[in-house]
Chain A
């Protein structure tokens, strides 16, 4: 069997914008140069890839030498900041082709930046982006609600959630409220 069989692709975690916005803690799993970098989400799981579906409301091309695109993707709880540069040419061209507003599905890596004045920003480096429909957006809200609740139910029992407790002092009830509010915006 090929060595690829032992390689497990990192799953794309489902996370609402308001939770991702609170993310501050990042670590490298291993000492190797190629070891993956994870963030710990406040609901208590490590993630180096996320999947979000929302509305692309804005898109901007930036840079002269190194062209890259920024965009804003909105879900029922807030905004994801996405970016695609020339290191992800496929993703950049996909994003270039999409005219906002549009429902989009984004697979990408969460990245933490600290601005000169000390604020921490979270952006999503796009691996792929595609236009989807409203049904897919609604399915994503249900999916993300379910997985967030699953994480909150296990909160305090896993290694990652203990770390989240230490770093963020997460209050699970606050996140249940966020999930509830997100769900109530889905129309029947």
Chain B
């Protein structure tokens, strides 16, 4: 942005209020602030506009709230005016909230909340609006635009296609983010309201994602039949497929980020991604095999996948005689300094123990102690042995992608002998 552009903008603002500003004077003031005092251009613009407005005795000029701002530059604590497109509407969680969603412009996107008390017109999905004098505060560590009774909302006739800028996963911050990523793991859902959860990865790293079931989908949608259709309910992502995910909500919990895709629009992509692994690797002795390891039964209800009790009881869907079998290992890997929980899925367990799922089912069904037999076989194979496990750490547990037995290295023995202080043998 050059000083003359800024000068032009300031003088137009003042002219709109009926003043006759001297452009040269504006430019020299800007020049002085920027060149001599090292003030950044945005701040200089604000200062000069404010000063001139006072000199010409004008009101409502240059105050932060009416100056159009790009969304990406807004920080909490500001009163702002923006022009943006409603790219997501989410069901309101409280009667005091009339509408929530995401508003975006070409620079970025931000969540917004319209208070019921604001009596503001409902905004429609896919439309552009000019939102004047809204206030930005911080919610869950991210800037959040609050639309209150002093905010003016006007619908705009423009429809500029928006191309959200893609952020590398490791650079995501709380708020709203768009990524191009591959679905690298599809996990068992841990909650009734969850449609899907798993791990997304791009070249920079990985992040957990969640799609919630949407009971109230579409209820917050506008009534204008011409408004673009907001998708009802969400589709699941396919494993090993690359998606462009626009405007997902980035949540932070206990210092870890995750992506909620309910606000997002996602489109699969032909390409492939070499996923950068921000993997944890640990080596240690497997000191404990936890109950719930071995052959287990899972609830067959679509999207449930919970572990059933011995009597085939699912905590949500009750008795499920048509369960499906699965193999897993929940264990503790201990390096003598830290004991860590690890979780291995079927493929890893099959490779490690040398029993396939089908074989395990066969053994269990023809054995008097049934599934316990598989637990004991797995335990006797892995307990007390040294392994190197790599995977991603999540929720205090390492989700193991690869596991290899540690082998004896003679050079390590030599190094330790030297370290212990004796002469090499």
Query: Interface residues, chain A, CB within 8 Å of chain B?
Result: 1, 4-5, 8-14, 51, 53, 104-107, 127-132, 135-136, 138-140, 142-143, 145-147, 149, 173, 176-177, 179-180, 183-184, 186, 188
Closest-CB distance, A92 to chain B (whole angstroms): 15
Name 11 A/B residue pairs within 8 A (Cβ), A-sorted: A5-B396, A8-B339, A9-B288, A12-B287, A51-B336, A105-B384, A128-B289, A128-B383, A179-B420, A180-B417, A183-B417
- Given A183-B416, A183-B417, A184-B417; A132-B384 close (CB under 8 Å): yes
Chain B residues contacting A138 (CB-CB under 8 Å) are 408
State whether A11 touches B338 (Cβ < 8 A).
Answer: yes
Of A53, A135, A142, the residue contacting B413 (CB under 8 A) is A142
> Complex Cα distance A184/B407, Å?
18
State whether B339 touches A146 (Cβ < 8 A).
Answer: no
In the complex, B337 has a CB within 8 A of chain A = yes
Which 10 pairs between the two chains have the least Cβ-Cβ distance? A105-B384, A180-B420, A130-B383, A9-B339, A180-B422, A179-B420, A130-B384, A5-B396, A107-B287, A11-B339
Of B287, B339, B421, B422, the residue contacting A128 (CB under 8 A) is B287
> Complex Cα distance A106/B395, Å?
28
In the complex, B386 has a CB within 8 A of chain A = yes
- Given A12-B334, A14-B336, A145-B420; A105-B413 close (CB under 8 Å): no
Chain A residues contacting B419 (CB-CB under 8 Å) are 149
> Complex Cα distance A16/B341, Å?
25
Chain A residues contacting B386 (CB-CB under 8 Å) are 136, 139-140, 143
Return the chain B residue nearest A106 by Cβ. Answer: B384
> Complex Cα distance A147/B254, Å?
31
Return the chain B residue nearest A128 by Cβ. Answer: B383
In the complex, B16 has a CB within 8 A of chain A = no
| Binary interface encoding of chain B residues 399-420 relative to chain A, with 1 for a CB under 8 A from any of its CBs, else 0 | 0000000111010110011011
| Binary interface encoding of chain B residues 328-344 relative to chain A, with 1 for a CB under 8 A from any of its CBs, else 0 | 00001011111101000
State whether A183 touches B288 (Cβ < 8 A).
Answer: no
Chain B residues contacting A147 (CB-CB under 8 Å) are 336-337
In the complex, B96 has a CB within 8 A of chain A = no
Chain A residues contacting B417 (CB-CB under 8 Å) are 180, 183-184
Query: Interface residues, chain B, CB within 8 Å of chain A?
Result: 253-254, 285, 287-289, 332, 334-339, 341, 379-380, 383-386, 395-396, 406-408, 410, 412-413, 416-417, 419-422, 425
Of B339, B416, B420, B422, the residue contacting A10 (CB under 8 A) is B339
State whether B416 touches A105 (Cβ < 8 A).
Answer: no
> Complex Cα distance A12/B336, Å?
5
> Complex Cα distance A184/B422, Å?
10
Closest-CB distance, A3 to chain B (whole angstroms): 11
State whether A136 touches B337 (Cβ < 8 A).
Answer: no
Give the tally of cross-chain contacts (CB within 8 A): 105
Closest-CB distance, B114 to chain A (whole angstroms): 31
Besides A4-B396, A10-B339, A107-B384, 20 new A-B residue pairs in contact (Cβ under 8 A), listed by A number:
A5-B395, A12-B336, A12-B339, A51-B334, A51-B336, A51-B384, A53-B384, A105-B285, A107-B288, A128-B288, A129-B384, A142-B413, A145-B416, A145-B420, A146-B416, A149-B419, A177-B422, A180-B417, A183-B417, A184-B425
> Complex Cα distance A104/B385, Å?
10
> Complex Cα distance A106/B406, Å?
18
State whether B336 touches A142 (Cβ < 8 A).
Answer: no
> Complex Cα distance A136/B407, Å?
9
Closest-CB distance, A39 to chain B (whole angstroms): 15
State whether B335 touches A11 (Cβ < 8 A).
Answer: yes
Chain A residues contacting B341 (CB-CB under 8 Å) are 9
> Complex Cα distance A5/B395, Å?
7
State whether B380 touches A131 (Cβ < 8 A).
Answer: yes
Chain A residues contacting B335 (CB-CB under 8 Å) are 11
Return the chain B residue nearest A53 by Cβ. Answer: B384
> Complex Cα distance A4/B290, Å?
14
> Complex Cα distance A149/B416, Å?
9
Most chain B CB neighbours (cut-off 10 Å) among A135, A179, A183: A183
Chain B residues contacting A51 (CB-CB under 8 Å) are 285, 287, 334, 336, 384
> Complex Cα distance A14/B335, Å?
9
Closest-CB distance, B369 to chain A (whole angstroms): 13
Closest-CB distance, A38 to chain B (whole angstroms): 15
Closest-CB distance, B188 to chain A (whole angstroms): 16
> Complex Cα distance A66/B412, Å?
45
Closest-CB distance, A77 to chain B (whole angstroms): 13
Chain B residues contacting A145 (CB-CB under 8 Å) are 416, 420
State whether B339 touches A139 (Cβ < 8 A).
Answer: no
Closest-CB distance, A131 to chain B (whole angstroms): 7
State whether A180 touches B421 (Cβ < 8 A).
Answer: yes
Return the chain A residue nearest B289 by Cβ. Answer: A128
Return the chain B residue nearest A136 by Cβ. Answer: B385
State whether A11 touches B413 (Cβ < 8 A).
Answer: no
State whether A130 touches B407 (Cβ < 8 A).
Answer: no
> Complex Cα distance A131/B380, Å?
7
Chain B residues contacting A139 (CB-CB under 8 Å) are 386, 406, 408
- Given A136-B384, A183-B416, A188-B413; A11-B285 close (CB under 8 Å): no
> Complex Cα distance A32/B408, Å?
43
> Complex Cα distance A35/B170, Å?
40
Closest-CB distance, B257 to chain A (whole angstroms): 15
Most chain B CB neighbours (cut-off 10 Å) among A138, A139, A146, A173: A139
> Complex Cα distance A173/B421, Å?
9
